[in-house]
Structures are given as C-alpha cells and as structure tokens.
C-alpha cells in the first residue's frame, strides 16, 4: 500500500507577546521528498505568528503545486472540553466550528505578536460564570475581576471538565483553561485556532480537520481522495524525543514528530492512528468528533 501522505509538517506554536526566536518560540518542521525523492527535513523559526503564517502558507502552496498530500500537525488543542459551545450559547450544530468562529471574532493578534488572549479568556469567563473561572493564568498586571493570575478553584459538579478526553488519554497534557506560565496551551489555542481556521478557509475542501471532518476512524486512501492537507493536533511529548547535541528542544520535537509519523506511514500503520484507541466508549468518540478533538496517537 502507498503512503497516505508524502509530506509531514509539524508546528510548535507560541503565544509570546513579542517577537522571539530560539527556545520557546515558533518552530515549523517540514519532512518532504527532495529532488532525488528521498525524505529530507528542513525547519523554520519565524519570530512572530504573522511570519509563521506567511511561511506555512508558502510551504503548503509549494506542496500543493508538487501534488503532495500533507499531514499538518499543531501542538495545541483544536477543540475545547465538551459543553464549551453550549455554555456560550453558540449557534449551529457543529460545536467545534462554532468555537472556531467565536474565537475568530474575539482574538486580536498584531504583526508584532501583541495580542489580547488574556482579554479573550476574561470575557469568556464573564459570559460563562461571571467570575475568574474556568480560564486562569496571567501576569499580575493583567489581572481582572474575571481573570486571575492563579487558579481560583477546582472544577466541580456542574462545571465544564478541566480536561478533554484526549488530555486524559495522553497522561500529562495540560488543561486548555491555563493561559499563562509553562505549558499554557490555553493561550496557544486561543491564538492558534483563528490561525488554523484561516489556513483552512483559504484552501476550501482540500483541507480537512481531524477528527471533526474526517470522522474519528481509520483513514484510508479512499477517505483522502481530493484532500491536500489533513490537520491534526499532536503532542510531541508523547514520543519522549531525544535531541542531537546542541539542538533546541522545540526543533527536536518538530523533527522527531515528523519522522515518527513518516515511519508509521511507510509501514502502513499511520491510518489506524486516526481511529479511537481500543475500547473507547461511544460517547467519547462523539465528543471528540463534535467538539473536543483528539491528540494523534494519544491512548494508543
């Protein structure tokens, strides 16, 4: 059987508020065929999210021109815990898409990385609970009545879950409600989802978001007919990557993650990774497909 993909692009995102490179910044890893049809890796370290969008657009345009199908992985959640859209009374019968549209309306992310992620978290808290919950985490200078630097209480009965099903399956993934400090995937998701949405809208039906649009199931060549890009959430820490001497950790993560999926694809084992782990309950599958998303490889 042929590979499902001929290129693997992994994006290590950042919610930084100013331009930055090196450790803890944006890294884009691209594993694709060179002119001799051998798999070759290249990386980019743009200093801002705007530069990253330009670079990634160029990478995807080039792959499409070459007729290459791409697995595009992002290291932040593409969906929120079940009940998020309903708690905000968002319209439509696709909660994941409603959440994407809502964030797109709220987020302001300037070319110099100045952004309003704390304001977005605060406003969503106000609409949901009227207090500093469930989003938390910000510099003290950015504290508001509806957003505090530290977590103010635990999740209890009647609250939205602290973790998605996929976060629990990944054993160690951070909560999307955390907006600041190390491992603050919430800030990355708030700024990343509108970016992913723009990439998808610019390419129409040629781009599918897994598992929302593909189904939470094993993917085959027939499923991907006419598809140029499959976007998925990835969690490089699942692989416990080992870096080369002197290699920045973020670069190690995008490189080893791309290589991992390429090896699975070569062995005809990647398609099965898009399916739920064995014995996953039906309601968990439905939550993943409708709203939460899943981490590629979590629970396997």
pLDDT at 33: 85
Helices (H) and strands (E) in the chain, counts: 8, 6
**Cα 147 from Cα 178, distance rounded (Å):** 11
Strand partners, 12: 27
Q: Is the pLDDT of residue 1 over 80?
A: no
- Mean pLDDT over residues 167-175, rounded? 93
Average pLDDT value over all residues in the chain: 96
**Cα 145 from Cα 260, distance rounded (Å):** 44
pLDDT at 17: 95
Using the 8-state DSSP alphabet, how is residue 176 labeled?
A: T
The pLDDT-based confidence of 245 (bands split at 50, 70, 90) is confident
Cα-Cα-Cα-Cα dihedral of 279, 283, 288, 289, to 10°? Answer: 110
β 229-233/70-74 pair status: parallel
**Cα 238 from Cα 257, distance rounded (Å):** 9
Angle at Cα 193 formed by Cα 144 and Cα 152, nearest 5°? 30
Note the pTM of the prediction, 2 decimals: 0.97
pLDDT at 300: 86
Phi, psi of 48 (to 5 degrees): -135, 165
Q: Would residue 153 be called left, alpha or beta, if left means φ above 0 and alpha means ψ between -120 and 50 degrees? A: beta
Share of the chain above pLDDT 70, in %: 100
β 39-44/27-33 pair status: antiparallel
pLDDT digits (tens, 9 = 90+) for 119-154: 999 999 999 999 999 999 999 999 999 999 999 999
**Cα 90 from Cα 88, distance rounded (Å):** 5
What are the angstrom distances between the C-alpha of 57 and each of 2, 102, 196? Answer: 26, 23, 11
pLDDT digits (tens, 9 = 90+) for 41-99: 999 999 999 999 999 999 999 999 999 999 999 999 999 999 999 999 999 999 999 99
């Amino acid at each position: 059987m042929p590979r499902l993909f001929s290129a693997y692009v992994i994006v290590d995102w950042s919610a930084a508020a100013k331009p930055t490179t090196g450790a803890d910044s944006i890294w884009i890893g691209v594993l694709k065929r060179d002119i001799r049809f051998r798999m070759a890796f290249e990386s980019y370290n743009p200093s801002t999210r705007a530069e990253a969008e330009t670079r990634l657009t160029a990478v995807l345009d080039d792959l499409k021109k070459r007729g290459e199908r791409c697995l595009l992985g992002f290291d932040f959640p593409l969906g929120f815990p079940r009940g998020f859209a309903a708690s905000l009374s968002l319209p439509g019968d696709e909660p994941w898409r409603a959440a994407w549209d809502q964030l797109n309306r709220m987020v302001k992310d300037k070319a110099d990385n100045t952004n309003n992620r704390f304001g977005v978290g605060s406003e969503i808290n106000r609409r949901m609970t009227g207090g500093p919950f469930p989003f938390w985490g910000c510099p003290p200078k950015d504290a508001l009545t509806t957003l505090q630097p530290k977590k103010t209480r635990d999740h209890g009965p009647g609250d939205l879950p602290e973790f998605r099903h996929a976060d629990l399956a990944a054993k160690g993934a951070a909560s999307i409600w955390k907006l600041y400090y190390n491992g603050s995937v919430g800030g990355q998701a708030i700024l990343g989802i509108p970016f992913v949405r723009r990439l998808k809208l610019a390419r129409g039906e040629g781009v599918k978001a897994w598992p929302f649009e593909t189904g939470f199931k094993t993917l085959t060549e027939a499923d991907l007919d006419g598809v140029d890009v499959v976007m998925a959430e990835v969690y490089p820490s699942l692989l416990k990557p080992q870096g080369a001497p002197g290699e920045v950790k973020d670069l190690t993560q995008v490189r080893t993650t791309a290589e991992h999926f390429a090896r699975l694809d070569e062995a005809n084992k990647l398609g099965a990774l898009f399916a739920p782990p064995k014995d996953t309950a039906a309601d968990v599958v439905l939550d993943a497909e409708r709203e939460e998303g899943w981490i590629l490889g979590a629970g396997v």
